[in-house]
Structures are given as C-alpha cells and as structure tokens.
C-alpha cells in the first residue's frame, strides 16, 4: 500500500433505537437553534419526523425546518439552505434522509460560514472551506455512504455540471437499519448497487497488487451481493438490511481507500449523465459499469481476475487470467439483470436524442483509473450503453 495517515472524525451510532438512545445526549452539547433538513416528506410518513421533533422539543431547541431537498440536490437549493442557516444563526444542522439530503447539508454547513461563492471558491480559487456549522446525520436511506465523508455531489443547473464539492464532516451519524425499512425496493436496489460501485471503484485504483485494503474491500463486495439477494427474497429481512446499511457505510468511510488512489471514472460519467437527464444514480451506474469495464479489460485484467475468484466465486483452475477477467464482467452484468436493474439507457427512459457527446465531453477524467480514458472513448462507452 502507499504511505497514508488515517483519521476518522465521524462518530457513528449504529443499531436499533440508536436515535432514541444517543441523539438526546448529542443535542445537549449543541446550541439552541437546530436546522432540521429533509427531503420530500417520507420521514413524516415513516414516523421518523415525529420522533426527531419530540427529541428536539424535549431538549428545548428552536427548530428551523428546511425541506424539499431533491434527489439530485441543486446548487440553488444549497444556497437557499445556507441563507436560512445564516438568517437564523443555526447552531446545529440535523440532516434526516439519504445521500441527497446529507450531501446538500455538508455544503450548506460550509457556505453558511463563507462569504465567497463556494463553487467559485473551490473550483476557481482552488481553496477549501475551513469553518462549518456542526452537523448530525440521521440516515433514513442507505447506499451512498454520504454520512461517512465530507464530499458532496451537487448539480449546478446553470453550468450543466453535476460535480463534487467539499464541505463539513458530520460530527455524528445515526444508522438505525429500522429507519430504512420504508425505502421503496427500487431505492434499496439503487442504493445497494451504488455501495457495490463504491467498492469496485476503490478496488480498481492503485496500487494494483493485492493489499489489506483490497482484501477488506472483497469482503464488503461479497456482503453486499449476498445480502441484496437475501433482501430480494424477503424485503423485511432485518439482518440483511442491517448488513447492507453497514456495508454502504464501510464503502465510503475511508477504510477501503487507505493507501489507495481510487478510480471512480464510472461515477464521474454517471454524474454528468445525471446532470443532463436527472436520472437515478444507481440505475445509471448499473448501465455504465459493465460497458466501461469491457473497455478496461486489457488494462484491468489482474484486478478483474481477482474479483472473479475472490468475490464472485468463479473457479480459476482451468482459466487464464484473461478468461477470468472476462468472467468477472459477465458475472457483474448477469447480477445486474438478476436483481432487475436496467442494462441500457433506453431501459432507464433516457431519450434517444440526449446529447451523449456533451455528457462525455464534460465528464471529469480520473487519473486513478487503470485505463487512461479520453472524452472520445467515454462517448463510445455511452453510445454502447444507449441500447
């Protein structure tokens, strides 16, 4: 592995009734005004909103609500939240939701303490914010692992970019698997595949020889595949859901990235697809991964062949490394069909006239990928994805 310094700042409360057991003590340490942020209201239908509000009221907090955070949070929504936080002198942001809510609040936390426009600050001035409003995350939809890091994916509609911004780390995160049981199955599938994608994109970086971080990664991938299959058999399987929630967190808490330079070319391509189409993130990844990986076969042969045997259980005795690498891509594609996710952009409902070249041309090229892609090559990938 490469040299590294490992430090993990997010305190995680995992398990049943985790919010009821631990949120009151966290609120005691916070100031008097709390911004309660959430999305379209699913937390109200699930009863989570009432539980949180009851604890906030019991702690004597003034609650400022910020709702309507959309699945692909926009830069305008970030600015709306930052303005609200400033005007109300918010002491703590409590984000209740999935990756979109949690990502949006990371940037709100930073923008509310910054006089400059944070997009220009990070992309033009090449600076990172250093002051933040403290935050807590209540995870109600798993998959992105957004509560585990300080990166956020935000859609700047004017610029037609869906790009990373960096904000605050959460001071604490509550992961109660029961809070995720009301997720629609489409979202469970999407979130689980996103977690699997995070693992694969980290694994496909460098160094490319086997190392401890990659061996832990293999276990996470096996766990996601096994427990997603169990969830499809029984959507109420609490043990399987618990494993998926923690696997998604492990995929993005930095542990698998220790000593690694990551890939994430599939994510960058899907982000721009989302910027132009507002598509489902997990579905886009499911369509892109097998096609992109076929384009990477010669360069990624060693890692793909390891994944074939270590993750997918494909016997390697009578196969060459190249045959095993191909078998891995085939197994991944077969699994995507098995769990009922789309395999083409057409199946996703993306119109034929979508400007795939503009999407490819605006995609960030990732130096950690084992194949050096060009924008033209990514356009070829998207054309093959179209179906």
List beta partners, residue 32: none
Residue 253 pLDDT grade (very low, low, confident, very high; cuts 50, 70, 90): very high
pLDDT tens track for 192-212: 999 999 999 999 999 999 999
User: Which residues, including other chains, have CB under 8 Å from residue 317's CB and lie 6 or more apart?
Assistant: none
Residue 369 pLDDT grade (very low, low, confident, very high; cuts 50, 70, 90): very high
Q: With contact defined as beta carbons under 8 Å apart, do 107 and 78 qualify?
A: yes
pLDDT reading at 356 higher than 70: yes
Main-chain dihedrals φ then ψ at residue 345, nearest 5 degrees? -65, -30
In the numeric block, the tokens 């629609």 are attached to 184
Residue 7 pLDDT grade (very low, low, confident, very high; cuts 50, 70, 90): low
Query: Residue 62 is inside which H or E element, if any?
Result: strand 62-66
d(CA 226, CA 54): 37
d(CA 118, CA 79): 9
pLDDT tens track for 323-346: 999 999 999 999 999 999 999 999
| Tokens linked to 63 | 């609650």
List beta partners, residue 139: 97
d(CA 299, CA 301): 6
Of 19, 32, 205, which is closest to residue 134 (Cα–Cα)?
32
d(CA 72, CA 37): 15
The pairing of strands 33-37 and 11-14 is: unpaired
Cis peptide leading into 50, omega within 30 of 0? Answer: no
| Full set of structural domains in the chain with CATH | 11-180 (3.40.50.1970), 185-386 (1.20.1090.10)
Instruction: Give percent of the chain above pLDDT 70.
Output: 98
d(CA 367, CA 21): 44
Q: With contact defined as beta carbons under 8 Å apart, do 181 and 241 qualify?
A: yes
pLDDT reading at 8 higher than 90: no
User: Which residues, including other chains, have CB under 8 Å from residue 361's CB and lie 6 or more apart?
Assistant: 375, 379
Average pLDDT on 288-315 reads: 97
Q: Which stretches does DSSP call E strand in 147-301?
A: 151-156, 161-166, 172-175
Instruction: Give percent of the chain above pLDDT 90.
Output: 97
d(CA 257, CA 209): 14
pLDDT value, residue 41: 86
pTM: 0.94
Please tell me which residue, 37 or 9, carries the higher pLDDT value: 37
pLDDT tens track for 256-278: 999 999 999 999 999 999 999 99
State the average pLDDT for the chain: 96
Q: With contact defined as beta carbons under 8 Å apart, do 37 and 135 qualify?
A: no
| Tokens linked to 327 | 């078998």
Residue 1 pLDDT grade (very low, low, confident, very high; cuts 50, 70, 90): low
Of 351, 160, 130, 172, which is closest to residue 274 (Cα–Cα)?
160
d(CA 145, CA 136): 14
In the numeric block, the tokens 């609490």 are attached to 238
pLDDT value, residue 59: 98
pLDDT tens track for 68-123: 999 999 999 999 999 999 999 999 999 999 999 999 999 999 999 999 999 999 99
Average pLDDT on 175-187 reads: 96
pLDDT value, residue 292: 98
Q: Which stretches does DSSP call E strand in 79-171?
A: 92-97, 135-139, 151-156, 161-166
pLDDT value, residue 5: 66
pLDDT value, residue 4: 62
Average pLDDT on 155-181 reads: 96
pLDDT value, residue 62: 98
């Amino acid at each position: 592995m490469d040299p590294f310094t490992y430090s993990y700042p997010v305190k995680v409360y995992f398990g049943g009734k985790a919010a009821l057991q631990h949120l009151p003590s966290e609120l005691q340490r916070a100031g008097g005004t709390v911004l309660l942020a959430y999305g379209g209201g699913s937390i109200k239908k699930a009863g989570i909103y009432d539980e949180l509000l009851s604890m906030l009221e019991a702690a004597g907090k003034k609650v400022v609500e910020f709702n309507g955070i959309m699945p692909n949070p926009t830069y305008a929504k970030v600015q709306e939240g930052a303005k609200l936080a400033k005007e109300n002198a918010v002491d703590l942001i409590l984000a209740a939701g999935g990756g979109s809510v949690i990502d949006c609040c990371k940037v709100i936390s930073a923008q509310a303490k910054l006089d400059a426009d944070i997009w220009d600050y990070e992309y033009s001035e090449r600076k990172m914010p250093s002051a933040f409003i403290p935050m807590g995350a209540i995870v109600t939809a798993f998959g992105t692992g957004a509560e585990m890091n300080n990166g956020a994916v935000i859609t700047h509609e004017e610029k037609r970019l869906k790009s990373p911004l960096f904000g605050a780390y959460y001071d604490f995160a509550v992961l109660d698997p029961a809070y995720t049981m009301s997720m629609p199955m489409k979202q469970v599938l999407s979130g689980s595949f996103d977690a699997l994608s995070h693992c694969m994109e980290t694994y496909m970086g460098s160094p490319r020889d086997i190392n401890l971080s990659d061996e832990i990664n293999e276990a996470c991938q096996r766990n996601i595949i096994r427990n997603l299959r169990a969830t499809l058999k029984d959507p109420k399987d609490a043990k399987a859901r618990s494993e998926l929630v923690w696997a998604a967190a492990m995929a993005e808490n930095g542990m698998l990235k220790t000593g690694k330079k990551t890939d994430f070319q599939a994510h960058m391509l899907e982000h721009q697809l989302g910027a132009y189409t507002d598509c489902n993130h997990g579905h886009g990844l499911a369509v892109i991964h097998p096609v992109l990986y076929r384009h990477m076969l010669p360069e990624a042969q060693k890692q793909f062949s390891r994944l074939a045997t270590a993750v997918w259980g494909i016997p390697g005795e009578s196969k060459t490394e190249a045959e095993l690498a191909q078998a891995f891509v085939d197994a991944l594609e077969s699994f995507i069909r098995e769990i009922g996710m789309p395999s083409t952009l057409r199946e996703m409902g993306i119109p034929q006239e979508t400007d795939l070249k503009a999407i490819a041309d605006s995609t960030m090229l990732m130096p950690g990928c084992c194949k050096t892609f060009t924008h033209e090559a990514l356009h070829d990938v998207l054309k093959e994805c179209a179906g």
